[in-house]
Amino acid sequence: MNKNTLYWLCQIGGWLLFVMLEFIGYGSQYSFTALLVLNVAINYAAGILLTHYYRVFIIKMQWISRPMPQLIPRAILGVVTISTLLTIINIYLDRLTVPLLRQLPIDWVLIINYLFNWSKYILLWALVYHLFQYWERSLEIEKERYQLEAILKENQYQNLKTQLNPHFLFNSLNSIRTLIDLNPSQSKEAVTRLSSLLRSSLQMSKLKTVSLKQEIETVKDYLAIEKIRFDERLTCTIHIPDERALLVQIPPMMLQTLVENAVKHGISKSKLSGTISLDALIDGNFLSLVIINTGRFEPNETHQGLGLENTRKRLEFVYDNKALFSIANRDENTVITKIEIPL
């Protein structure tokens, strides 16, 4: 049901209820006559028309959009105006349709009684109408606020993804540049791997989430490039015992970023060989991802913290703070990173 239909149902039904009560009250006191029916019909039409034109006027004058301190005196003026018009109509209408009322003199006491009586009902109408409008406007403002927050959230998420791609490309090109002089044939393989990575990156940048299986393929391409660079200094293992885990959706390039972080801040700084292991398993209602790598986590290093902070924010945006992320030193030369994603 739209707003206009609801308004007319309330308008017609509300005034009908009012005039029926007035009809019963007047009829019980002065007798039910055809003239009393005419009285009720005129009041019914007058009430609907006057309040409806009041509504049209306040919409045209944009009173509804005004704050309460400005709206209240204007609404009171409207109530007094409508009540005065109905008072004038009914002082003469009652004398024409109810013979016993013709004996009453028209003085200030009578006028004030009529005005007070009508003011009660018109004030009730105005309160219901304005409070409904105020409530509806509050809902619209709240809806617009949530829409703006959603747009802002999506823009922030897209910005985070675009921050990841240049960082990843820069490090990959550096790896290939180092390899060209040492082993040209392997550098060609690295270029092929990089091409596959870029293709995946471009495709994934359009997506909010991808399957773990797709992300694992990206990680394998990245590690293949770094394996050529580090040779025996880098040992990688990926363990996924439950194939259901491969179907779970995760943010694109997220694992690749964390693995890249492990290589850059762990393996590359180690004078001896290093290892990176990635385990994925379904634990209750969560997908648990665990990366263990050689190295040491230094939380105060700004250049190391940016990529991790991006990962935290992306998880917050996608899973509404329901995903868990942690990174810590397991011992003097081992870092463990954990992510739990709700299923």
Domain ranges of the chain: 3-146, 183-342
Alpha-helix runs per DSSP H in 61-183: 68-97, 108-182
Q: Which two tokens stand for residue 337?
A: 């990173």
In order of 111, 150, 252, 277, 316, the CA distances from 208 in angstroms are 70, 14, 7, 26, 13
Using DSSP's 3-state secondary structure scheme, residue 239 falls into: strand
- Supply the pLDDT for residue 303: 54
Please count the other Cβ atoms lying within 10 Å of the Cβ belonging to residue 95: 15
Asked whether 187 and 174 are in contact (CB, 8 A), the reply is: no
Query: Is 273 in contact with 306 (CB distance < 8 Å)?
Result: no
Which residue is associated with the tokens 């004058």?
61
The first and second tokens of residue 198, run together, are 């870029």
**Residues 15, 48: contact at Cβ < 8 Å?**
yes
Q: What are phi and psi of 337, to 5 degrees?
A: -115, 130
CATH fourth-level superfamily of 183-342: Histidine kinase-like ATPase, C-terminal domain (3.30.565.10)
Q: Spell out the SS3 assignment of 243-288.
A: HHHHHCEECCCHHHHHHHHHHHHHHCCCCCCEEEEEEEEEECCEEE
Residue with tokens 């009829």: 27
Give the span between the Cα atoms of 194 and 191, in whole angstroms. 5
Is 47 exposed, middle or buried, given 0-12, 13-18 or 19+ CB atoms closer than 10 A?
Answer: buried
Of 172, 264, 183, nearest in space to 218 by CA: 172
What 3-state DSSP class applies to 211?
A: strand
pLDDT by residue, tens only, the chain of 343 residues? 678 888 889 889 999 998 898 888 888 888 888 888 898 899 999 999 999 999 999 888 888 777 878 888 888 998 999 999 999 999 888 888 888 777 778 888 888 988 998 999 999 999 888 888 888 777 777 777 766 565 556 555 555 555 445 665 776 677 777 777 777 777 787 788 778 777 776 766 667 788 999 899 888 888 887 787 777 888 899 999 888 999 999 988 888 888 888 888 888 777 778 899 999 999 889 999 999 999 888 876 655 556 687 788 888 888 888 899 999 998 888 999 999 999 8
Q: What is the pTM of this model?
A: 0.53
What pLDDT was estimated at residue 176? 76
Q: How far apart are CA 228 and CA 179, in angstroms?
A: 8
